[in-house]
Amino acid sequence: MGKNFRGSSASEHAIDGSDARLGIACARWNDAITSRLLRGATERAAELGVGADDLDVAWVPGAFELPLAAQAMAQTGRYDAVVALGCVIRGDTAHFEYVAGPASTGIMDAQLSTGVPIILGVLTTENRRQALVRSVVDGDVVGDNKGAEAVDTALEMVALLRAVNAG
């Protein structure tokens, strides 16, 4: 009988990041939101045991630049996973369509070409309020933090790939 490498939710088991090295590529565009995503990601990484020396952050101008930066980080071989954080808010122009889709596709292509999990942590929202609700930090009342969730996903993928590669 073969092995079952079924993924599990964070609530089913403890995620351990104590032996993982993470890279985070974070967009400066909409930095009022992305800085909150980054805070959620770094706080969650620390909670899960990722050491301060095992987490690097690279800032890029915007979400459109995330795929290249994340791919470059993954190609170094220094990271078990990379998290790409950004925020694209729909506006009155076609900017949203030209940025959000290509950024997502680029991140997927980068992870497939490198074999390193690159987690999509790019918010695509209709307005600033939706972005704030998805990037909650201490003191906020309602919502969650997608940066923290992206770290959970990254560490779960690290564990899964290690298990698959171990046979």
Answering whether pTM is above 0.85, one says yes
Active site residues: 95
pLDDT at 166: 87
Least trusted range by pLDDT, from 19-23, 83-87, 141-145: 141-145
Residue-range domains of the chain with CATH: 22-166 (3.40.50.960)
pLDDT at 11: 47
Query: Is 6 or 35 the better-scoring residue by pLDDT?
Result: 35
Question: What is the pLDDT averaged over residues 2-19?
Answer: 65
Using pLDDT thresholds of 50, 70 and 90, give the confidence band for residue 5: low
Q: State the DSSP code for 50.
A: -
Strands (E), the chain: 22-27, 55-60, 81-89, 118-125
Question: What is the pLDDT averaged over residues 92-106?
Answer: 88
Predicted confidence (pLDDT) per residue in 37-57, tens digit:
999 999 999 999 999 999 999
- Other C-beta atoms lying within 10 Å of the C-beta of residue 62: 16
Distance (Å, whole) CA 156 – CA 61: 28
pLDDT for residue 163 is more than 50: yes
Question: What is the pLDDT averaged over residues 127-132?
Answer: 94
pLDDT at 94: 80
Mean pLDDT (the chain) is 90
Question: Which SS3 state, helix, strand or coil, does residue 118 take?
Answer: strand
Question: What is the pLDDT averaged over residues 88-114?
Answer: 91
Least trusted range by pLDDT, from 1-5, 31-35, 71-75, 94-98: 1-5
